[in-house]
Structure 1
Amino acid sequence: MAKVKTHFVCSNCGDISQRYLGRCSNCGAWGTLVEEEIPSDKVDRKNRVNLAGQVAKVERLNQVELEEVPRVKTKIEEFNRVLGGGVVPGSMVLIGGDPGIGKSTLLLQVSGQLAGEGVVLYVSGEESAAQIKLRAERLGVEDDHNFLIYPETDMTHIRKAIDDYGPEYVIIDSIQTMQQPDVNSAVGSVAQIRETTAELLQIAKTNGITIFVVGHVTKDGAIAGPKILEHMVDTVLYFEGDNQRSYRLLRAVKNRFGSTNELGVFEMQQEGLTEVLNPSEMFLEERMEATTGSAVVVALEGSRPILVEVQALVTPTVFGNAQRTSSGIDRNRVSLIMAVLEKRTNILLQNQDAYVRAAGGVKLNEPAVDLALAVAIASSYREAETRLTDAFVGEIGLTGEIRRVPHIEERITEAQKLGFKRIFIPKNSLKKMLKIEGIKVITVQTLREALDLALS
């Protein structure tokens, strides 16, 4: 009997090594090499053929017929927003998130709505048909004849079911439970995930079927399996949140058909996920009056302005080196702003511990948060209260100047809608001064000027 040949594949990046290494030579991850059998050279490689038997062919670019394919909108506007305006037919969407965060709940609700637009095939490798039915009744999903349930993990049977029923939408829950019978590897391994995803992608592109795939995540928050999984699909969505809180954030980190900056906000309730149409009120509802170390920023998530409270606590350090701890804001950004504060406004922070967070669990990545962050830190250090009706927008340069940020008019309008009386913005952001009823626009050029006006 011939000896079975094996090699080692990194579960993080997919790199192949002929011998076991403790650390992957490509991505540097430790303990990620998994032994797999080398596939036979006699494996039958099929052309890209759709379910009707049509084979892909070479075409000139000017001869390709472009059909106008409208997006399919669900009744969940937050979901439509993150996808870029709705579901694109023939696309493949990967949704990742922590266990119990609500991935299956969201897709089950979406499936019930898409069943009104076409046939939906819900393939589950983790639940039986009765369990899915029980959960659907709890979520109020309508019993539509176009909603098909298939508890199966074998890709051969799944492809046959797609061929027999011709669905417009397919949900795979989850990709780590699916298996290719001709791949000699354990379920959930790199080889299984890679081959299964490749076949699903072929089905989606050659037949115009929209496929949603649920992906498990590692302890570091990345989607489990090879990184090529995220490269193959059209859209990658991350479902974020805390199991101890009812709010969930749906964020796009890759989207070939829309922006990657959009954010959808949901609240987990007994009857399932419900939309939060005004996230700003949610992020500000527990803000206290007459407090120090608090400032509100009008952040922009895609096309949506959101008001978020930035909190800071500055205390004398008891260690040799001052600590910088942050949640929801990049720690390097906090260190940079504190260095600018110390150099340009003569606030001694090198012997102070700083704890900074964005309230509500949201992550703030854009430069416009700089001014609110600086005001919150200075307010905590000086024990000077900020006004409850003040908002701040602006990027801070290393020389202490307040730099312009985009979409300033939308930010001012959003602050005015929520009852804010003053908003601090960069001096050069507006070509002409706006006069919006009920809010005073204060333009500032330097960080020192902004602190003098905000903390006076």
Structure 2
Amino acid sequence: MAKIKTVYICQECGYESPKWMGKCPDCNAWNSFQEEVKDTKETAKSRGIALNPSSIPKNIGEIKSGEKERFNTGIKELNRVLGGGLVKGSLTLISGDPGIGKSTLLLQTAQNIAKNYGKVLYVSGEESEEQIKIRGDRLGVDSQNLYIVSETNLEIIEAHINELSPIFVIIDSIQTMYKQGVTSAPGSVSQVRECSNAIMRIAKGNNIPLFIVAHVTKQGELAGPRVLEHMVDTVLSFEGERTEEFRVLRTMKNRFGTTREIGVFEMMGEGLVEVYDPSKLFLQERDGSQEGSIVIGIMEGSRPILVEIQALVTETKAVMPRRTAVGIDNSRLSLILAVLEKKLRIPFYNCDVYINVVGGLNIDGTTGDLGVALALLSSIKNKDFKLSKMMAVGEVGLTGEIRPISSCERIVNEASKMGFEHVIIPYRNKDKLDAKGVNVIGVSSLREVINKIF
């Protein structure tokens, strides 16, 4: 028999407490507890549940692989990020800032799948059917197999899915959905958790791929309980500035492929357009060599990308100089500054330092260390590089040495294709390199690279 009790639940992390608390002991959020009614039902053991024939353990050799059962989304950049396409029965979560283009991307995907495979259901809890139709007209969405419904009650949505039998479902967004049995408001931790469980059961039970749109917080993190990320198979993050034209789609979690791939899109009047050559996009407004500016190469999954890094070093009278890094890790910038001060005797303690990756791309790893160091030196000395059309890659060690990087050959080939004449790489990478059409310069320390390019 069901019993009803009142609990207080943190709306940031889902921590439950029998009484109200000002500060959550789990995530340290202040004033985040809300009172909710919770049903305590009998356990499965007390009811006595019989075994389901479909859930009997099987030998792994007898289980049919679903690797080949993927839907082609019709968008190559999205296929790349997903690991080759949509896996049947998969649950994918996509998040991003408001207005970044999540709904646009999903509507374009729904159009392609509806044209090539069959019925697609687009469930919107934030827009009416007429609003989606207006966007669809702008994007050229006209498939007869694409069905739109504006609904927030999850029980009604499940009934629509059972009646329509679609092969692909989009829910926009999880924060607007609610279950009638849960007393808390839509978007609360309890509602998001219960709705996610129900949606996962729908996707796995009907063997249909399902996309969920999720909101983000002011800090850009995924809103809702952490359990939401654990439940889904894939977590995608849509990044970019609304004032810029291009967008970057990243994979934060992927059970069916790598998490290192990115997809690059450009926002146009007719919707999101794929960018097949990101290096050309990020370097399109660069005009030759300028002080404090250098091009570096990075690897995003299997794709080499060239981006421009700009540095500005200016003297300050403030007691605490500013250290601002956009696109790279701030602690990495502090490490490189410390190496330059210690090994090259160049003072940065009385200067404000600003580093920016042009285009808004976020760089992970240590491949761009050498480029950051050279941009800082160029800015503080007010000197251009004597080598024109130059690109630099390499990791800077704490002793001032230039350490080798992985996939160097692919980055050098990309630089050659983009018309660069000189490439600065770690000396140990040069031994294994067979590059043509570009002058490869191997360096082993910061002092050596300064003598060669300034």
TM-score scaled by length of structure 2: 0.94
Unmatched segments (≥5 aa) in structure 2: none
- 328 and 68 in structure 1: CA distance in 2 versus 1, 3 angstrom threshold: closer
1:97 aligned to 2:100? no
For 1:454 and 1:31, the matched residues in 2 are separated by 56
- 26 and 447 in structure 1: CA distance in 2 versus 1, 3 angstrom threshold: same
Give 1:140's aligned amino acid: G
Listed one character per residue, the Cα deviations across residues 391-432 of structure 1 (whole Å, up to 9, x for unaligned) are 011011101111111111110010011100011111112443
1:87 aligned partner: 86
1:19 aligned partner: 19
Structure 2 contact 4–39 (Cα < 8 Å) conserved = no
1:423 aligned partner: 423
- 189 and 68 in structure 1: CA distance in 2 versus 1, 3 angstrom threshold: closer
1:428 counterpart SS class: helix
For 1:450 and 1:183, the matched residues in 2 are separated by 64
Written as runs of structure 1 = structure 2, the 5 A alignment for 1:306-325 is 306-325=305-324
- 54 and 153 in structure 1: CA distance in 2 versus 1, 3 angstrom threshold: farther
1:139 aligned partner: 139
2:108 aligned partner: 109
Structure 1 contact 400–446 (Cα < 8 Å) conserved = yes
For 1:155 and 1:55, the matched residues in 2 are separated by 25
1:360 counterpart SS class: coil
1:20 counterpart SS class: coil
Please state how far the C-alpha of 1:55 moved relative to its aligned partner: 4.5
2:277 aligned partner: 278
2:118 aligned partner: 118
For 1:361 and 1:384, the matched residues in 2 are separated by 25
Structure 2 contact 66–87 (Cα < 8 Å) conserved = no
Please state how far the C-alpha of 1:81 moved relative to its aligned partner: 1.2
Structure 2 contact 74–113 (Cα < 8 Å) conserved = no
Please state how far the C-alpha of 1:148 moved relative to its aligned partner: 1.4
2:9 aligned partner: 9
Please state how far the C-alpha of 1:385 moved relative to its aligned partner: 0.5
Fraction of identical pairs, as percent: 47
Written as runs of structure 1 = structure 2, the 5 A alignment for 1:348-387 is 348-386=347-385, 387=387
Aligned residues: 449
Runs of 4+ with >4 A deviation: 42-48
Please state how far the C-alpha of 1:287 moved relative to its aligned partner: 1.8
Unmatched segments (≥5 aa) in structure 1: none
1:414 aligned partner: 414
Structure 2 contact 189–224 (Cα < 8 Å) conserved = yes
For 2:262 and 2:451, the matched residues in 1 are separated by 34
- 198 and 63 in structure 1: CA distance in 2 versus 1, 3 angstrom threshold: same
1:429 counterpart SS class: helix
For 1:109 and 1:47, the matched residues in 2 are separated by 47
- 332 and 35 in structure 1: CA distance in 2 versus 1, 3 angstrom threshold: same
Structure 1 contact 392–423 (Cα < 8 Å) conserved = yes
1:330 aligned partner: 329
2:303 aligned partner: 304
Listed one character per residue, the Cα deviations across residues 251-293 of structure 1 (whole Å, up to 9, x for unaligned) are 1111111121211111111111111111111111222434211
Structure 1 contact 112–144 (Cα < 8 Å) conserved = yes
Please state how far the C-alpha of 1:70 moved relative to its aligned partner: 3.2
TM-score scaled by length of structure 1: 0.94
For 2:341 and 2:213, the matched residues in 1 are separated by 47
Written as runs of structure 1 = structure 2, the 5 A alignment for 1:380-399 is 380-386=379-385, 387-399=387-399
Structure 1 contact 78–265 (Cα < 8 Å) conserved = yes
